[in-house]
Structure 1
Amino acid sequence: MQQSGRAAGRKSFEIVQSLLLVNDEWTSANGALTAAMKLKRQVIDERYAEEIKALFLKE
């Protein structure tokens, strides 16, 4: 991703530095989505707090 971003002339702040893929399905049944299928960002932030923290520690 970083190579293709640089090749496309993107600035460093426009290039994704870290990415986390999770195997969990986000549904309204498990509380990650509202009934209107919108993300519940606070719930997701709390659920993956350790993983998110680790992403920023790598940099």
Structure 2
Amino acid sequence: MKHRAPRRQKGLSIIELMIALLLGLLLMGGVMQVFLSSRQTYQTNSALSQVQESGRFALD
């Protein structure tokens, strides 16, 4: 009786695909968190600079 060598897998299994999707979602979540945080910081700094500009104008 001859033993056949196992066939090589072609493509991705469903588990590998699900893990890749999960890692992609985690990465996208991190990128979105950084984007939203930097946008909030920009808005805060913009409001602060507007207040400072108004203060300088009032002093002049």
TM-score, normalised via structure 1 length: 0.24
TM (normalized to structure 2)?
0.24
Q: Considering fraction of residues, name the structure with more helix.
A: 2
Higher relative contact order (CA 8 A, sep 6+): 1
